[in-house]
Amino acid sequence: MINSSLKQLGAMLAGKQISSVELTQEFLKRIDLHNADINAYITVDAEKSLAQAAAADRRIAEGKAEALTGIPVAQKDIFVARGWRTTCGSRMLENFIGPYDADIIERFDAAGAVNLGKTNMDEFAMGSSNETSYYGAVKNPWDRTRVPGGSSGGSAAAVAARLCAAATGTDTGGSIRQPASLCGLSGLKPTYGLVSRYGMIAFASSLDQAGPMAKSCEDMALMMNVMTGFDERDSTSLQREREDYTRGLQQFEGREKPLAGLRVGLPKEYFAEGLDASVAKVVQQAIDEYRKLGAEIVDISLPNTQLSIPVYYVLAPAEASSNLSRYDGVRYGHRAAQYDDLMDMYCKTRAEGFGAEVKRRILIGTYVLSAGYYDAYYLKAQQIRRLIAEDFARAFRQCDIILGPTAPSTAFRAGEKADDPVAMYLQDIYTIAVNLAGLPGMSIPAGFAEVDGKQLPVGLQVIGNYFDEARMLNAGHAYQQVTDWHQRMPEGI
């Protein structure tokens, strides 16, 4: 049951083979059993979850069920939820109780899904390993000595360890796709503006985007049907016709070449120096599978790929320095216990409330926005951001989707890169450009690489043009019909 797809769980609930209360209890038992070790959840409230499950059972009995009604889903602790503790992985919000629901929470509630709890994350979504959380590092279920990736590492670990049926995440520079790759699951970062950011605690507003994390593309399609839609409370929310992302998932099944006519671009920059040989081998095998499925392979170039890291680490910290200025101890959140005057209260509150990585990014952002440096750093980074978007525009004139590695390596050991921020930042070399351009991207399981005698997951990144999520999901689903990497579970789980 714990390895069943969302569609299968929905059929079991509709057929009265199991109730939502029973299904929720099963996942809560698994959380009790494994969370102390993996640390995937920050907050679990069984009473609230079971009340939602009971309401879902009544809805199913009345014949008013939707696709996700009664299914337990974990929510990243970056989404404000009424009555739930919402910490964003920080001491600054340690005791903050949400007074309202984020748009994404409202949508899952309206669909009848059950909120299992709030998952662990890098503090204020700043990190690539889930080691910056005030609530402790998350462990990778495939190897407890290694990181799950970040910042959505808690959601990724929860799905991989089957501590939920699916989860939500956010992606500012790869924070859905990179942990999905390192934990062996599927994760999608939608087109910027497709999912409302209302009630999502901001890191970098022009880059942040929420998305689904699940076992398969089919599961993610069902979640996208719930998550997307215009929200007038979010000024960046796009007003466009709603889509059914499950459309076409089955239309190619049974055909000898289900992806015939699909042009797949391979950027030469994604297969150059810096990519681990064992990861490259797995990704190449996945590309060969796409060729067997009938796809046409096209060589392309994204020449400004190497500039995406420096551009991101100018723009994202600049936006963070502005967004995080609200955490001053005055209105909500942590406040220093002792201080002399208002300025001392500000300084001590922020010194105590923020972790080292958050402070580092605030300082970088304040510096690049300061007088004398704005033109040299921030403005220049915005100009290069446009060049990166133009690279993708040219590429999509040659191909329909782009394939490549999600991360340059498999999961690395906890603490291995903690003292080297640049090495940590380079983990997002293949994902950041997608956010800078506002494009959709996803990671799907592509196999395993042997590292120190352990089999560790490798992710295949699929990048699409704007609003091309349905085509991406179709291509991923076709691949998952002929492979079983997405069904593999860690040992001992």
Q: How far is the C-alpha of 373 from the C-alpha of 224, rounded, in Å? A: 40
**What is the C-alpha to C-alpha distance for residues 431 and 404, in angstroms, rounded to an integer?**
10
**In this structure, what is the dihedral angle of CA atoms 485, 491, 492, 493, given to the nearest 10 degrees?**
-10
Dihedral sign from CA coordinates of 234, 237, 240, 242: negative
- The count of other CB atoms within 10 Å of the CB of residue 362 is 23
Q: Is 118 a catalytic residue?
A: no
Q: Quick one: three-class SS letters along 348-394?
A: HHHHHHCCHHHHHHHHHHHHHHCCCCHHHHHHHHHHHHHHHHHHHHH
Catalytic residue selected from 5, 175, 186, 216: 175
Beta strand residue intervals within 268-369, DSSP E? 296-300
- How far does Cα 101 stand from its chain's mean position? 20
Query: Which residue of the set 19, 151, 181, 308 is catalytic?
Result: 151
Is residue 90 flagged as an active site residue?
no
Phi, psi (5° rounding) for residue 38?
A: -85, -30
CB neighbour list of residue 342: distance below 8 Å, 6 or more residues apart: none
Pick from 7, 192, 208, 233: which is nearest to 106 by CA? 233
Token digits for 420? 């080297």
For residue 409, indicate whether it is catalytic: no
User: Of 5, 49, 76, 90, which one is the catalytic site residue?
Assistant: 76
Closest CA to 480 of 446, 443, 442, 457: 446
Residue 12 token pair:
């079991």
Tokens of 470: 């349905």
- Retrieve residue 252's tokens: 């190619």
Nearest residue to 457 via CA among 182, 159, 213: 182
Q: Which amino acid is at 355?
A: G
Active site residues: 76, 151, 175
